[in-house]
Structure 1
Amino acid sequence: MNSSSLWQPFALGRLELAHRLALAPMTRNRANADGTPGELVAEYYGQRAALGLLITEGTQPSADGQGYVNTPGIYTPEHIEGWRKVADAVHEGGGHLFVQLMHVGRTSHPDNTPHHRQPVAPSAIAPGQDMHTPTGPQQIPVPRELSAAEIQDVIGEFRHAAASAIAAGADGVEIHAANGYLLHQFLSPNANHRTDVYGGSVENRARFVIEVAQAIAEEIGADRTGIRISPAFPLGGLDEGDTESVRAQYRYLVGELAKLNLAYLHVHHLGDDELLGSFRAVWPSAVLVVRYGRGRDQIVSDIDAGLADIVPLGRFALANPDIVERLRTDAPLNEMDPTTLYGGGAAGFTDYPVLTLV
């Protein structure tokens, strides 16, 4: 793929990127039982360092933030030491690491967390879905509604997690406000029935997300803070309403976040290009766009259309550690093995073949 726009350098916050590709965040469930990423995780990210900007899998900022088994954390000294090995591996390969901070909220089960407590959420409304647990699929229970004081505690947890990521040597963090998890739950009217300042109006539903972003930007610097959103994404039982309701919610949210001058806005995009264009018009820094089902020949389309600056790659990068070289040289791509996506060892994680020079 010789599109010149894909290979242009780009300044992202404090970073100088050699091209417009990045690694999209993808849950792989290979952390140790206590949430510490091990040597295999460091190898995985190190293999993909040529992507330049590597956004990690969702990483919980607290025990309450965990939803799935063997996902990593970034809130204990052991977590920091584990992530330091990952950051070192990425930096040795010339890349940069942003740790995605993911609090799952109600998308959890007590059997998957270290304390086995009831999940927390903006309101006591279950998503009506099953999830995998150590004993098999189980119905997600009704969560406990966070009090206003507890919301402030969660904001503090995000702040601490961001500081811990920087202490581990990461170059920044991405706030996960997408894909049906806690911050997204606050934005969604069918999951947020609160009657205080965190619910009801468009402005109130956005308040928690904005306050998390403000706290993290204050703690580690706005230029080391990105945020991911997924307007109208129906994951985790969320329903954000009709097109105009979604546009109103996210135009307000993105407009307020734009005032913080964060490093980037990462949009998991479902296809409302008018909405995406409105983000682009007000956002002062980089915009990253991920689309499901994007083919190899479409990777550069959003950059060429002026909708994105950087294109994070998911399955292509997962199955091809040397994806940058393969795209540069139009080499064939490995196919992803869907049976090894979640959990396990090296198989389907660090053993995908790389190009052999002859």
Structure 2
Amino acid sequence: MRSRRGVLKAAVVGAGAVAAAGVGPGAARADERRCAAPVFVLVHGAGGNSYGWAPVLAELGLRGHKAIAVDLPGHGRGAYFPVSYQSPQDPEALRSEPSPLGKVTLDDFAEHVVGVVRRASRLGAVVLVGQSMGGVTLNAVANRVPELISHLVYASAYCATTGHASAARLMATPEASTSALFRMARVETPPELGVNRANWRSGDPAFFAAAKEALAADRPDAEVRALLATLEPDESAAIATADCRGIPEKWGRVPRTFLRFTWDRAIPLALQDLMIREADAATPGNRFRVRSLAAPHVGPRDAAVWADELELAAGACR
């Protein structure tokens, strides 16, 4: 049996009903917005930051699109790197050093992204994209401002609906039991710190092998080391356990695509399919548009593949 704490930590990876019929002016404006020129808003996963989207941003820009990559609160420029995480590391202190991310909540994430979406919606039709734990934020934002979002794209991302309330509960299902995340050692922090912590700078070969399997098993070692160097050690433990169910009358109004990564060993294919089924059951009149890609958890290696898929999602209403 996996411990509850182990499931919660594994849910954090360092690393998305038709509305009641109505055709009034508000509905017409929403339809017009959905078919306008797209603005892509990209949301990273746990331990990530906007830098991870850099190749995709560049490709979308070269194709003439507007695109924004978000740094969630406590990430990117606002990231916290424990003193004990630096070189030389202090493994004992790393287990207990406090982090400001311990106070960050899903409401903080949602409020920040809603602000970005509001501004982006003045430029065009917002296509909101989330990878991995970024799906939790997608649900929370779509529950708040569905009228401002043209399309939701879940890139092998957590999408909780009526069946399971949080990413942690999804990771406790039988469909998640083969996840390589359970084999990746985490820094054992006390619950009162409020963070899940990963030592991406670990020199342990076993940790590197497990991280590579979970995130990017198809990449050469040098590429995986470069990937790990961009990840941040801390994530708020509250994100994985937050109730992030999509509300059918709100989130469920927005057209959505699921990018199904068939090589993903962090969020296994069986779990991706479970989330798709549960979401479709919650909103049978607005089902996921599913695209299967031969990619690991971090997604396709070629930014052009990402851009192709996002363009398809943006064009779904045409």
TM-score of the superposed pair, with normalisation by structure 2: 0.37
Structure with greater proportional helix content: 2
TM-score of the superposed pair, with normalisation by structure 1: 0.34
